[in-house]
Amino acid sequence: MKVIRVAILGFGTVGQSVARLLVSGKTGLELTCVFNRNVERKQVDWMPNTVDWTGNIDEVFTSDVDVVVELLGGLEPAGSWIQRALMEGKPVVTANKQVIANDGARLSELAAVKGVCLKFEAAVAGVVPIISSINNGLAADNLTRVRGVLNGTCNFLLTKMGASDASFDEVLADAQERGFAEADPSADLDGFDAQAKLSILSAVGLRRLINPHEIVCRSIRGVSHADFEAAALLGCGIRQVSTVELTEDGDAVRAEVGPAMVNLGSRVAQVSGNENVVVVDGKSCGEVILIGQGAGGDPTAVAIVSDLLAIASGDGAPNLFPSVGASCQVEPMGKRSHYVRVGGPQSVAGNLSDLGVVPARTLEGRDGQVQFVTNRCTTEAIESALRPSETTRGDRAERAVVLPVID
Residue 184 belongs to a domain with what CATH number?
3.30.360.10
Average pLDDT rounded to a whole number, residues 300-313: 94
Average pLDDT, the chain: 90
Domain termination site, one of 238, 268, 294: 294
C-alpha span between 263 and 10 (Å, rounded)? 40
Is 283 an active-site residue?
no
304: in domain:
no
Domain termination site, one of 294, 315, 346: 294
pLDDT-derived band at 108 (thresholds 50, 70, 90) equals very high
Verify that 121 and 149 share a domain, yes or no: no
Query: Which amino acid is present at 220?
Result: I
With a cut of 90, say whether residue 186 has pLDDT above it: yes
* From 26, 197, 283, 335, the catalytic residue: 197
**Distant-in-sequence, close-in-space partners of 377: CB < 8 Å, separation ≥ 6:** 335, 336, 337, 338, 355, 356, 357, 358
Query: Which amino acid is present at 71?
Result: L
Model confidence, pTM: 0.92
- pLDDT top residue among 342 and 49: 49
| Percentage of the chain exceeding pLDDT 70 | 91
- pLDDT top residue among 386 and 268: 268
pLDDT single digits (tens) 36-65: 988 888 899 999 999 999 999 999 999 999
Verify that 156 and 282 share a domain, yes or no: yes
SS (H, E, C) 320-366: CCCCCCCECEEECCCCECEEEEECCCCCCHHHHHHCCCCEEEEECCC
Answer whether 388's CB lies under 8 Å from 370's CB. Answer: no
What is residue 32's three-state secondary structure?
A: strand
How many folded domains does the chain comprise?
3
Verify that 150 and 110 share a domain, yes or no: no
With a cut of 50, say whether residue 98 has pLDDT above it: yes
Range of the domain at 134: 130-294
Average pLDDT rounded to a whole number, residues 111-117: 94
- Supply the pLDDT for residue 391: 39
